[in-house]
Chains A and B, each alone.
Chain A
């Protein structure tokens, strides 16, 4: 808009303009045109003062640049303020909607709960930003609330057809949108879409995969572990811990896990061994024995850990026959396990280990001997007396441990 450069007339024009617009925008308009007017005046002054042509061009450019920058800043501030106000309004609408859903239980006792939704809110649902805000708020409330109120929130989510958008996001090319969509469907307990989620349990992206696996266990408990049939990517240690934690909160059922012991994915075998150990699956003893000869040392280690808790009189023989072929870490695990599985037949083997180069193996062997019984303890003391340092020190420590 062009304004007269005479200051008096310009301010009159601004005042006139201000009367035509709502109160909220007056400040912005006054500021915008005042700055424009000042900039125009400055340019005029520059013309009158600057004599040198080059200087003049530079000064005019700077003045225009400043003018442009100020216009941009004001426009940005105006838009931001407008967005913040709208956002606040939307937040109030979504809060009200959620509150209605959470406390709906007291009002009606119908079979099919229908949460009252205002026309305005329904209309706003076409707006992507509002939908995003409302979904985030429903999810946040759902995480903090249980019982009927939680069911009502789920009903509200379905009633507003928000799951359709989540399913649409599930097909996105971007991994983070996919992962978020799976998380949303999990929190909102949309188990009817688990077949759509199942395909992502072996997704290329680790986070998508993790979310999908978590969702399946959340929906189905132990039966949700069926994704282990199709997983070809490794299951990280962190994900294994998370899945075991989730399973700890669901009723235990004996699902058939033997097939996973033969999986070509080592991490699936490791996870299965952890399951077998945690849930005391004694019947799998014979199925797990071949895992001690697995090509992956992590699988062998987990198998040793299993046999440390679920063992027979022959378990120590299985360890001894494989001891020399094992890597150091697994050897240490085996000797540690001997504290549980060792018998008097193993005393000679353990005495041999007291001469091992590795001090940890020496200490574990000494502990195992002490745990085997009177004979083991006597053999340990006698041997230590003949060898001297460092076995005498180790024996001192074990004596202390036994006394404690």
Chain B
């Protein structure tokens, strides 16, 4: 599964990348929303994981861009902080498919990603 990850916290980004690669996914990492939107066309991901608070372009705008680019496919999982319920609701209105609240367990991430993996053995 090709996964595009957008996260501005470098350490978090590396951990996400490491975990997803360990789970056998092809991962491309981006450090802000602008880079994520730019890589959407080039990379054609099967799944996008994006943080909400990012420089230049927020995660919400990334959700909007993904849904505009791939109206039928490409699910989006958003990473939100505690107390960002309103933003999560806004993301769902824009078409986000799932969300994970920080702090989260890497195992939880793997399980949630697997739900969107059509090639995974059920």
Contacts and interface: CB of A to CB of B under 8 A. Distances in A.
> Are A and B associated in one complex?
yes
Given A98-B11, A140-B9, A103 B102 contact: no
B107 interface: yes
B11 A145 contact: no
A147 B107 contact: yes
Nearest to A140: B11
Contacts of B103: 142-146, 150
Contact of A148 (B12, B14, B102, B105): B105
Given A95-B14, A141-B11, A102 B106 contact: yes
Given A103-B18, A103-B19, A103-B22, A95 B106 contact: no
Contact of A145 (B14, B18, B22, B105): B105
Interface in A122-153: 137, 140-150
B104 interface: yes
B34 to A, nearest CB: 22
Given A140-B9, A145-B103, A150-B103, A99 B15 contact: yes
B9 A99 contact: no
A147 B14 contact: no
Nearest to B81: A144
The interface residues of chain A, by DSSP majority, are classed as: helix
Contacts of B19: 103
Contacts of B107: 105, 147-148
Contacts of B105: 145-150
A244 B70 CA distance: 44
Contacts of A98: 11, 15
A27 B103 CA distance: 46
Given A95-B14, A141-B15, A103 B106 contact: yes
A105 B22 CA distance: 13
Interface string A74-106: 000000000000000000000100110011010
The 5 closest A-B pairs by CB, nearest first: A147-B105, A146-B103, A146-B105, A144-B102, A144-B103
Interface in B69-122: 102-108
B23 to A, nearest CB: 11
Interface string A257-292: 000000000000000000000000000000000000
Contacts of B18: 99, 103
A144 B104 contact: yes
Nearest to B105: A147
A98 B108 CA distance: 19
Nearest to A141: B11
Given A103-B18, A103-B22, A144 B12 contact: yes
Interface in B1-50: 9, 11-12, 14-15, 18-19, 22
12 contacts: A95-B11, A98-B11, A98-B15, A99-B14, A99-B15, A141-B11, A143-B102, A144-B9, A144-B103, A145-B104, A145-B105, A147-B107
A145 B9 contact: no
Contacts of A95: 11, 14
Contacts of A141: 11-12, 15
A263 to B, nearest CB: 31
Nearest to A95: B14
A95 B18 CA distance: 11
Nearest to A149: B106
A364 to B, nearest CB: 32
B105 to A, nearest CB: 3
A103 B104 CA distance: 13
